Amino acid sequence: MSVKGRELVLCKLHAPFASLTRFLHCQLDFSLLLKATVKQRIEPAQSARRGGTTSALPEKLLCSRLLLILVAPDTALTSVVPLVPEPEPAASAEDLIAQGKALAAQQQYSAALPYFERATQLAPRSFTAWFHLGFTRNHLNEWQGGYDAYEHAVALDPNAAIAWNNLGNALDGLARYDEALAAYERAVALDPDFAIAWNHVGNARFHLAQYEEALAAYERAVTLDPGFLTAWENKGDSLSALGRYREALAAYEYVLHLAPERLSALAGTAGILSLLGEHDRALSVYARHEALAPLEVRSYITKGAELWSVRRYDEARVAFEAAVAAGGDTPLWTNLGLALAKVKRREEALAAFDRALTLDPHYVDAAVQRARTLLRLRRFKEGRAAVTHAADLRVEQRHARHPHAHE
């Protein structure tokens, strides 16, 4: 699936402080720095602008971000680690929510989390506190925590479509797709024009292999929002799963018409062209993708298969090597071994087949190719033993598929 639509954000997002991604280089008198730190009151920044520099930050905030190292007074402080401010014990729930939202707007979700947690303790019947706690936990991929928070939120306001949508996201993260679908459908029942929730209905149905129903949900999403690129890509995925490759290609090409450098659409387009057997066009689209950014593992595998199909074996080897560099599985190592064998790099091919069998000792294809490679290397004694082993694995495989065949 393409990356699913993000949750709605109730507050405007800003880029994190530039100072959080840079070293601060300054020479400060240690005694003055220590004095400033002792008397500081930690307050999260709520007024920093996008791309602001350290010098524009309030002095107290600057001090709260310095990790003091006990060094000689004349030594320069050259490395800085951002510190997470703790909520003020006496702050009201409203203040805590405001401060948490300011941190979340800067995408500092770990820092925002304790503010919302404290707010729900002070105001356990605050929909806003539970909503933002769930939103933050979902962004941190803490799906169970997000689910728990949104359960409170929808209990407090059963008519909040966005809360039902985000509850569905937490359930999706927990792979509880039937329950996620029910939550998303509640969201669109409350707000039939909620395009993001319709996209999520499609995602849940896709996970459940309900491709026709998923397609209908994605079509509703793009009807409501014709510029919803993720939903267009997901529509393409559903059409592909239904074997309607030409229509899937049209969906991806529509995305590329609106966003020519969108990587996910380029990968999807190339994959559909591969399924259609249009190898040269597929390879051309992969080249466009790689001119912008490296491919993902799945796309490297598909590209390697395309290159193999047009007998460009060394280029296929390069694609498979890029894929295994990201952590290849047994079939992928086997494919790499085949490509290496085709270009007469047999010792390396043997190592690839060995790697495949290390990951899965019962993988028959790798065992067969290992035996062939040993024989081509004229290592006959090992090759004969490998042939026997591969034959035994094949018998085991057939018996596992048909356990009562000989009874």
Task: Kindly write down the DSSP assignment for every residue of 22-72, as one continuous string.
Answer: S---B---HHHHHHHHHH------SSPPTT--GGGS-HHHHHHT-------
CATH homologous superfamily of domain 13-170?
Answer: Tetratricopeptide repeat domain (1.25.40.10)
pLDDT at 10 over 70: no
pLDDT at 199 over 70: yes
Task: Kindly write down the DSSP assignment for every residue of 92-158, as one continuous string.
Answer: -HHHHHHHHHHHHHTT-HHHHHHHHHHHHHH-TT-HHHHHHHHHHHHHTT-HHHHHHHHHHHHHH-T
The pTM score is 0.68
**Is the Cβ–Cβ distance between 338 and 345 less than 8 Å?**
no
| pLDDT for position 13 | 30
Q: 């993260």: which residue's tokens?
A: 173
Bigger pLDDT: 55 vs 336: 336
Q: Alpha-carbon distance 343 to 24, whole Å?
A: 51
Q: Alpha-carbon distance 63 to 182, whole Å?
A: 48
Residues of the chain above pLDDT 90, percent: 70
345-407 CATH pick, 3.40.1550, 1.25.40, 3.40.1350, 3.30.160:
1.25.40
Where are the domains positioned within the chain? 13-170, 345-407
CB atoms inside a 10 Å sphere around CB 11: 12
**Is the Cβ–Cβ distance between 358 and 329 less than 8 Å?**
no
Bigger pLDDT: 326 vs 3: 326
Bigger pLDDT: 46 vs 92: 92
Q: Alpha-carbon distance 202 to 210, whole Å?
A: 9
* Equal CATH topology for 13-170 and 345-407: yes
| pLDDT for position 404 | 55
Q: 């990587």: which residue's tokens?
A: 263
Q: Alpha-carbon distance 40 to 42, whole Å?
A: 6
The helix, strand and coil proportions of the chain, stated in percent and rounded to the nearest 5, come to 65, 0, 30
Nearest to 104 by CA among 45, 43, 55: 45
Q: What is the pLDDT of residues 219-237, one digit of tens each?
A: 999 999 999 999 999 999 9
Instruction: Pick the range with the lowest mean pLDDT from 152-166, 303-317, 390-404.
Output: 390-404
Q: pLDDT band for position 42 (50/70/90)?
A: very low
pLDDT at 45 over 50: no
Q: What is the mean pLDDT of the chain?
A: 81
Q: Alpha-carbon distance 41 to 104, whole Å?
A: 20
Instruction: Pick the range with the lowest mean pLDDT from 158-172, 186-200, 288-302.
Output: 288-302
Determine the straight-line distance between the first and last CA of the chain, rounded to whole angstroms: 44
- How far, in Å, are 98, 172, 219 from residue 114 at the CA level? 12, 24, 40
